[in-house]
Amino acid sequence: MAILLLVLLGAGLWELAGWIAAGLAHWVGWLAHFGTLILAAGLAWFLFPAVITMFVGLFLEAIASAVEARHYPGRPPARQQGFAALLATSLRFGAAALFLNLVLLPAYLLMLLFPPLYLLVFYWVNGYLLGRAYFELVAYRRLDERAADALRRAWSGRVTLAGVIMALMLTVPVFNLFAPIAATAFALHLFEAMPKATS
């Protein structure tokens, strides 16, 4: 689903480049399309963590239940979350992640002149966002929103660090297709390890 969305984005950029270059010299059109390919590839890498996490909520219960069955077999059934609630949480995260990253895009481009700073800021920002998103998706299964949010704030450093690791996993080509499963399991283990984390 995430790949399809990014392919549609790339196709839209390709059509936009063709429309802009229409009637101009042949080499201008070729240059516009070549630039579009580079831009689409960059955006796919840049936005993939946020886009794929938007869809994780739809499959969260199956992943989390499998992890609990293997590692926490004594846990009572999780609090049921409706499809609408999961979708709302996922879309809220996706919108926040896309908005923040797009706002920071000019700064990211400037920081490309100094790659270590770019990587530090990119992974910290997305680590915060991903850590919060995955933790909330998992914690809301066991706690009400107020208790889950309080727990996340109390362990914010650990949650953000976990998110940085998730962001690293989600930017490794090919592995990032499977990384959301690992990230969900990681968030669930993190949640279970926290004092008073169980309902």
- Note the pLDDT of residue 25: 65
Tokens standing for 114? 């100094």
Q: 74 in a domain, yes or no?
A: yes
Q: 75 in a domain, yes or no?
A: yes
Q: 114 in a domain, yes or no?
A: yes
Q: 115 in a domain, yes or no?
A: yes
Return the axis-axis angle of helices 26-56 and 156-170, rounded to nearest 10°: 140
Number of domains in the chain: 1
Q: 199 in a domain, yes or no?
A: no
Q: 148 in a domain, yes or no?
A: yes
Report how far residue 125's alpha carbon sits from residue 99's, in angstroms, rounded to the nearest whole number: 12
Q: 41 in a domain, yes or no?
A: no
Give the residue with greater pLDDT, 194 vs 10.
Answer: 194
- Note the pLDDT of residue 198: 45
pLDDT tens-digit readout, 14-47: 777 777 767 666 666 677 777 777 777 777 777 7
Q: What is the pTM of this model?
A: 0.76
Report how far residue 17's alpha carbon sits from residue 164's, in angstroms, rounded to the nearest whole number: 34
Q: 121 in a domain, yes or no?
A: yes
Q: What is the mean pLDDT of residues 116-132?
A: 90
**Which residue is it, tokens 């990211």?**
108
Report how far residue 3's alpha carbon sits from residue 51's, in angstroms, rounded to the nearest whole number: 9
At 58, the pLDDT band (50, 70, 90 cuts) reads confident
Going by the DSSP 8-state scheme, the letter that residue 141 receives in this structure is: T
**Which residue is it, tokens 């979708």?**
87
Report how far residue 173's alpha carbon sits from residue 41's, in angstroms, rounded to the nearest whole number: 12
The secondary structure of 80-129, three-state, reads CCCHHHHHHHHHHHHHHHHHHHHHCHHHHHHHCCCHHHHHHHHHHHHHHH
Q: Which structural domain range is residue 189 located in? A: 48-193
